[in-house]
Amino acid sequence: MRSNSHVLFGSPSVFSLQADPDYSFFQLDVGDGSDLIFSTDPTIPFTYLYPEPGIYEYQLSAFGSSDEAFVITGTHTVSEFMTSPWPEPKLNYDDGDLFACDSCPDDQGAILDPIYLHNGEFFLMEEDLRIPGRGFDYRFQRTYKSQLSFDGRMGHNWTHNYMQHLAADGLNIVQVNGNGRRDAYTSSDGVSFTAPAGFYTSLTRNSDETYTIREAYGGQALFNALDGSPAQGRLRQISDRNGNTMHFLYDAGGRLERVIDTLGRPIYYIYNTDERLAYIEDFIGRRVSFTYDLRGDLVAVTSPAVTGTPNGNDFPNGKSWRYTYSSGFGNDRLNHNLLTIIAPNEVADGTLKPHVINTYAGTTNPLDYNFDRVITQQWGGTNASGVPAGGTLTVTYEELNPSGDPTDLTLPRNRTTVIDRNGNQKVYEHNGNGHRLTLKEYSNRDIRPGDPEFWETVYRFNRDGQLLQTIYPAGNVIESRYDETNRNRLQQGNRIADVQRADPIRGGDQRA
């Protein structure tokens, strides 16, 4: 027997049987004191919705012709929140889209296939389907994060942009967004709420116990009431400031079943017997399919079929991305790390050569600072001579000021060194929120005689993650000011001034 051993509260727990034919009667004790569940058909999984988060010891007993039962025990975790020991920096929402992904904190897209430089976590964001709508589009965007401990509808450590919900944490309300992060709206009375750092939003509890999150640009998200139902706290609808609305419908088990876009057109979400998302299909039959291995990892994503093009550029079976993951570690945090990404061209020609290969630190000690961090990344597979075609990047991490004040945003807490494919060295330092404080770009390859040892750029952020000041290597400065004293939280992220200061040597004169 196997189970989706770590699920999010409100999602069904599934216990699958692989029984010897000698056994014909089965009983499951889910470990929460409720009645036993019985079955005589091993081909049908047990499904159970735990009433509250916790760690449960389950026991399955199988009975057959022998007088002695066969017993399996195990541990099943039901989490109220998705967890990551090193969350990404506090960032304000992209105010152009309520359900947009978080911005990359280090503008590192050209440096590494995305890794959070302050914590070594590999993350990946892919958009598989976009359907133009009125006001805003339907998009299916999935996100992977290597340090996210989560077994959900899309397998381990994957989420999608509409997998959003609210949960109560005492008087506070925690928002779990579709990118695998959670942020708390704090409250002293359960009625009025303070937005988390980095979010220029407001949370309102409505008279029918539903909740509304309002964005600074006028968009709103409505969430179901926290009433104990399978779909409690789930995202119900998204509206823009002009009233264009997208609706989200759930089945009896709390699974997202349909999305109705802003033009009233349905997109269907279909699940397999393991409760994984098998495919999404739109109103004209375009389908994006998802394939999982026996460990519950997402191993393939296939785009809609393309046929009947005038130039013969058809893909009757769609285009597929492939993924491989780590496994076999005693500490589950080291399992399900994304190791390789294989692009559609290499899937189609059968070579299956990865275009990205990640290597994680070899330590299995969770107290080691390098634990579960990416340390090398190879691009482009290998050519015929065995040489990496795209080159290899290396990353090293160093903890700074471990006992320092975590609220001091000017205090460096981490140093990350990146050596790119050509041997160029860059050193980043980050504060406790994961925001970059300094970038040193070294002249270590000695290309130009007389260059300094390095060029340093210095940054300063506020508690909301807004960039306040940049001091460039030549000494020129750009400062940004925001409406931080405004009583309206929705307005505090408005940039009200940019100031540029010339460096003392070159000054601000224009050359003739």
How would you classify the pairing of strands 158-160 and 155-156? unpaired
Sheet with 138-145, strands from edge to edge, namely 115-116, 121-131, 138-145, 158-160
Among candidate residues 63, 79, 95, the one where a domain is terminated: 79
Give the closest residue to 40 by CA, choosing from 9, 14, 63, 7. 63
Exposed / middle / buried, residue 110 (Cβ in 10 Å: 0-12, 13-18, 19+): exposed
Two tokens, residue 461: 């952020």
Cβ atoms of 40 and 34 within 8 Å: the answer is: no
User: 82: pLDDT confidence band, cut at 50, 70 and 90?
Assistant: low
Give the closest residue to 186 by CA, choosing from 198, 206, 197, 171. 171
Q: Helix, strand, or coil here: 409?
A: coil
Q: What residue has token string 């119900």?
A: 236
Cβ atoms of 179 and 114 within 8 Å: the answer is: no
| 504 CB neighbour count, 10 Å cutoff | 9
φ and ψ at residue 506, rounded to 5 degrees: -80, -25
Give the closest residue to 221 by CA, choosing from 206, 231, 229, 207. 206
How far apart are alpha carbons 344 and 311 in whole angstroms? 20
How far apart are alpha carbons 403 and 93 in whole angstroms? 30
Give the closest residue to 79 by CA, choosing from 1, 147, 169, 161. 169
User: 61: pLDDT confidence band, cut at 50, 70 and 90?
Assistant: confident
Q: What residue has token string 């508690």?
A: 463
The answer to the question of residue 463 being in a domain is yes
Q: Which residues pair with 215 in a beta bridge?
A: 201
Among candidate residues 365, 380, 399, the one where a domain is terminated: 399
Whether residues 477 and 366 share a domain: the answer is no
pLDDT at 92: 40
CATH code of the domain in which 26 resides? 2.60.40.10
Q: Helix, strand, or coil here: 104?
A: coil
Residue 323: domain span: 115-399
Whether residues 389 and 419 share a domain: the answer is no
Exposed / middle / buried, residue 144 (Cβ in 10 Å: 0-12, 13-18, 19+): buried
* Residue ranges with strand state E in 303-413: 320-325, 338-342, 356-360, 374-379, 392-399
pLDDT at 7: 58
The reply to whether the predicted model has a pTM over 0.75 is: yes
The answer to the question of residue 315 being in a domain is yes
How far apart are alpha carbons 162 and 287 in whole angstroms? 17
Whether residues 365 and 234 share a domain: the answer is yes
Whether residues 47 and 157 share a domain: the answer is no
Whether residues 67 and 188 share a domain: the answer is no
Q: pLDDT by residue (tens digit) across 258-286?
A: 999 999 999 999 999 999 999 999 999 99
* Res 10 pLDDT > 90: no
pLDDT at 89: 58
Q: Helix, strand, or coil here: 39?
A: strand
Give the closest residue to 288 by CA, choosing from 267, 310, 308, 309. 267
- Mean pLDDT (the chain, rounded): 86
* Res 94 pLDDT > 70: no
φ and ψ at residue 315, rounded to 5 degrees: -135, 80
Give the closest residue to 21 by CA, choosing from 78, 62, 82, 79. 62
Give the closest residue to 483 by CA, choosing from 475, 474, 492. 492
Q: pLDDT by residue (tens digit) across 134-174?
A: 999 999 999 999 999 889 999 999 999 999 999 999 999 99
Among candidate residues 399, 416, 434, the one where a domain is terminated: 399
The answer to the question of residue 97 being in a domain is no
User: 416: pLDDT confidence band, cut at 50, 70 and 90?
Assistant: very high
Tell me which of 4-8, 105-109, 201-205, 358-362 is least confident: 105-109
Q: Helix, strand, or coil here: 344?
A: helix
Q: Helix, strand, or coil here: 118?
A: coil
Whether residues 350 and 240 share a domain: the answer is yes
pLDDT at 291: 98
How would you classify the pairing of strands 70-79 and 6-8? parallel
Whether residues 357 and 214 share a domain: the answer is yes
* Res 22 pLDDT > 50: yes
The answer to the question of residue 84 being in a domain is no
How far apart are alpha carbons 305 and 450 in whole angstroms? 57
Tell me which of 63-67, 463-467, 494-498 is least confident: 63-67
- Please state whether 147 falls in left (phi above 0), alpha (psi between -120 and 50) or beta: alpha
pLDDT at 119: 93
* Nearest-10 Cα torsion for 433, 441, 416, 470: 0
* Res 423 pLDDT > 70: yes
Exposed / middle / buried, residue 452 (Cβ in 10 Å: 0-12, 13-18, 19+): exposed
Candidate ranges 17-21, 204-208, 379-383; pick with highest mean pLDDT: 204-208
Q: How many residues does the chain have?
A: 512
The answer to the question of residue 85 being in a domain is no
Q: How many domains does the chain have?
A: 3
pLDDT at 8: 56
Residues contacting residue 270 through CB under 8 Å, at least 6 positions apart: 277, 278, 279, 280, 281
The answer to the question of residue 169 being in a domain is yes
Whether residues 47 and 191 share a domain: the answer is no
Q: Helix, strand, or coil here: 347?
A: helix
Exposed / middle / buried, residue 92 (Cβ in 10 Å: 0-12, 13-18, 19+): buried
Whether residues 395 and 407 share a domain: the answer is no
pLDDT at 173: 96
